[in-house]
């Protein structure tokens, strides 16, 4: 394969990158080369404040991008906040019933994402204004993405339209193709690979969309040095370009009738593959439960709550979620009628008396009955490796004293995680687990 070339349109990166295979041009450069002559295109959406810019530079760019994608090319979009121009364009807006049946044409402003093919622009909703965020989780941890995201401090965009299948463990981007002549909407989909998500909502903030034979890659802006940014963007683009070319060069689609001509030996192999696939899916389902419980060490909110529920279910306790608006998250009951009223929370530091969950505990003290024990399970310093949390103060002295006086057990999620591991190894019984919690007033000690 000949040397790949990357074209970058940016007003942030210097024109001289130091790499012969990467060329950087300003958005408004008059000598801008033809996009489809390159294998990789990078579009830096941190554009100048001149509101006329999008209307000027996007004329004809979509057709060139489609040509690039159909040849297996890669388009990397460095997402940024919305920039608009007063120029107007017609856009077909879908009215989302279920299934979507209607729509209408509306006149909208041109934004700095209108270079996207129309249906992808609509599905991803990148033309909408969104609030920035800082709390994200990297899901695809190949070296080039890890290094790139080490310097990502903020994201401005969430990519809509993705649908995750639990059964197949894969993402699809769903989009609508509008046939103006027949006034029909066709629901279509293409493969989607999620790179990073909003840590709280789970919405994709970076992804790869496989479209028209190529790859559309959306990444937040990174604070890498210009030379490093160009290097890692090229490495990312090169990887996906090679994958796309490999797919394009594969054999044509195999017809269904070819099954009638398979030998007995091939059929035996097919049967074995089917068995292995089923076994693999079963193992993935088992692993999924462990992965959800692992969230005890890093998550917060509903994901953390779910992890806690699964652990107490493994202890063979009766577990149920408390009513919405209640001063507790979970109600745990053993065979002897002992009940734990559990609050679960995840924080970046320690628990102090101003933490909202602590306020709820005091209300819960007045409500609880004699056979009930209040427990606060806190994922303190949740962004740190648990090894690095050693020696940190998880609860302030004031919180510890108040909880000790009010018969409240304070646990970290790491304590609960270790209890669970001891249970799996046969070192702890469910009775020992619940007794160790019932007998704790104040901070839980792991040797209980």
Report residue 6's pLDDT band, with 50, 70 and 90 as the boundaries: very high
Please check whether residue 282 is in contact with residue 327, taking contact to mean a CB–CB distance below 8 angstroms.
no
Which range has the worst mean pLDDT, 53-67, 215-229, 298-312, 324-338? 53-67
Rounded-to-integer distance, Cα 241 and Cα 75, Å: 10
> 107 or 261: which carries more pLDDT confidence?
261
- In this prediction, residue 237 carries a pLDDT of 93
What does pTM read for this prediction?
A: 0.55
List the one residue out of 2, 11, 1, 13 whose CA is nearest residue 231: 13
Per-residue confidence band for 62, with pLDDT thresholds at 50, 70 and 90: confident
Angle between helices 264-294 and 301-314 (to 10 degrees): 100
Total length of the chain: 448
Mean pLDDT of 22-32: 84
Token pair listed for 41 = 């295109």
pLDDT beyond 90 at 199:
no
Residue whose pair of structure tokens reads 């602590």 in the numeric block: 358
Decide if pLDDT at 40 tops 70. Answer: yes
What does the pLDDT read at residue 29?
Answer: 80
Report residue 48's pLDDT band, with 50, 70 and 90 as the boundaries.
Answer: low
Does 321 have pLDDT greater than 80? Answer: yes
Q: Which of 135, 118, 136 is nearest to 127 (CA)?
A: 118
**Among the listed ranges 46-50, 115-119, 186-190, which one has the minimum average pLDDT value?**
46-50
Specify the 3-state DSSP secondary structure of 113. coil
Distance of CA 399 to the CA centre of its chain: 34
Mind listing the pLDDT tens digit for each residue in 66-106?
A: 999 999 999 999 999 887 665 566 555 544 444 444 555 56
Tokens 């993405």 locate to: 145
Residue 31's pLDDT band (cuts 50, 70, 90)? confident
List domains and CATH numbers for the chain: 6-248 (no CATH), 295-443 (3.40.91.70)
Residues linked to residue 221 through DSSP beta bridges, in sequence order: none
Q: Give me the pLDDT at residue 97, please.
A: 43
In whole angstroms, how far apart are CA 188 and each of 47, 65, 98, 173, 345?
31, 20, 15, 8, 40
Across the range 208-233, mean pLDDT stands at: 91
Tens digits of residue pLDDT in 327-349: 889 999 999 889 999 999 999 99
Strand partners, 85: 110
Run of H or E residues at 407: none
Report how far residue 431's alpha carbon sits from residue 335's, in angstroms, rounded to the nearest whole number.
9
CA–CA separation, 159 and 138 (whole Å) = 15
**Would you state the pLDDT for residue 229?**
87
8 A C-beta contact, residue 198 and residue 133: yes
What pLDDT is recorded for position 101?
Answer: 44
CA angle (135 as vertex; 133, 141 as ends), nearest 5: 120
End-to-end CA distance of the chain: 63
Q: In sequence order, which residues have a C-beta less than 8 Å from that of residue 444 and are 6 or more positions away?
A: 409, 410, 411, 412, 415, 436, 437
162 class by beta-carbon count within 10 Å (0-12 exposed, 13-18 middle, 19+ buried): buried
User: Can you list the positions of beta strands (E) in 315-388?
Assistant: 318-321, 330-333, 339-346, 372-379
Question: Half-sphere exposure (CA, 13 Å, Cβ side) for 13?
Answer: 31
Structure tokens given for 101: 């049946």
Give the mean pLDDT of the chain: 85
Closest CA to 196 of 171, 215, 225: 171
Q: Which DSSP state fits 86?
A: E
How many beta carbons lie within 10 A of that of residue 346, not counting itself? 23
pLDDT top residue among 10 and 168: 10
């Amino acid at each position: 394969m000949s040397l790949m070339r990357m074209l970058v349109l940016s007003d942030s990166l210097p024109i001289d990158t130091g790499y012969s295979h990467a060329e950087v041009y300003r958005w408004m450069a008059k000598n801008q080369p033809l996009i489809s002559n390159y294998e990789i295109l990078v579009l830096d959406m941190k554009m100048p404040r001149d509101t006329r810019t999008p209307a000027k530079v996007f004329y004809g760019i979509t057709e060139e991008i489609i040509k690039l994608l159909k040849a297996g090319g890669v388009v990397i979009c460095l997402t940024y906040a919305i920039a608009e121009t007063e120029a107007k364009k017609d856009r077909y807006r879908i009215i989302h019933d279920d299934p979507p049946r209607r729509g209408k044409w509306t006149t909208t402003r041109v934004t700095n994402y209108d270079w996207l093919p129309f249906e992808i622009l609509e599905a991803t909703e990148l033309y909408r204004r969104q609030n920035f965020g800082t709390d994200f989780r990297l899901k695809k941890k190949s070296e080039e993405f890890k290094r790139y995201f080490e310097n990502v401090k903020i994201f401005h965009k969430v990519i809509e339209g993705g649908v995750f299948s639990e059964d197949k463990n894969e993402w699809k981007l769903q989009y609508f193709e509008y046939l103006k002549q027949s006034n029909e909407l066709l629901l279509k989909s293409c493969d989607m690979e999620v790179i990073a998500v909003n840590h709280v909502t789970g919405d994709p903030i970076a992804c790869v969309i496989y479209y028209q034979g190529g790859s559309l890659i959306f990444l937040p802006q990174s604070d890498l040095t210009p030379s490093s940014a160009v290097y890692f963007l090229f490495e990312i683009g090169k990887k996906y370009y090679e994958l796309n070319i490999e797919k394009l060069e594969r054999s044509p689609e195999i017809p269904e009738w070819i099954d009638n001509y398979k030998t007995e030996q091939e059929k035996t192999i097919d049967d074995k593959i089917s068995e292995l696939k089923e076994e693999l899916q079963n193992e993935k389902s088992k692993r999924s439960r462990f992965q959800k419980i692992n969230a005890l060490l890093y998550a917060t909110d509903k994901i953390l709550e779910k992890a806690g529920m699964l652990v107490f279910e493994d202890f063979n306790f009766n577990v149920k979620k408390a009513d919405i608006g209640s001063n507790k998250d979970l109600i745990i009951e053993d065979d002897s009628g002992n009940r734990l009223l559990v609050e679960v929370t995840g924080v970046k530091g320690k628990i102090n008396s101003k933490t909202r969950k602590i306020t709820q505990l005091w209300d819960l003290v007045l409500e609880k009955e004699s056979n009930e024990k209040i427990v606060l399970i806190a994922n303190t310093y949740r962004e740190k490796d648990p090894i690095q949390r050693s020696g940190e103060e998880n609860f302030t002295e004031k919180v510890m004293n108040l909880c000790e006086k009010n018969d409240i057990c304070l646990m970290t999620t790491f304590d609960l995680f270790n209890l669970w591991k001891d249970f799996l190894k046969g070192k702890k019984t469910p009775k020992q687990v619940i007794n160790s919690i019932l007998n704790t007033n104040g901070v839980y000690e792991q040797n209980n």
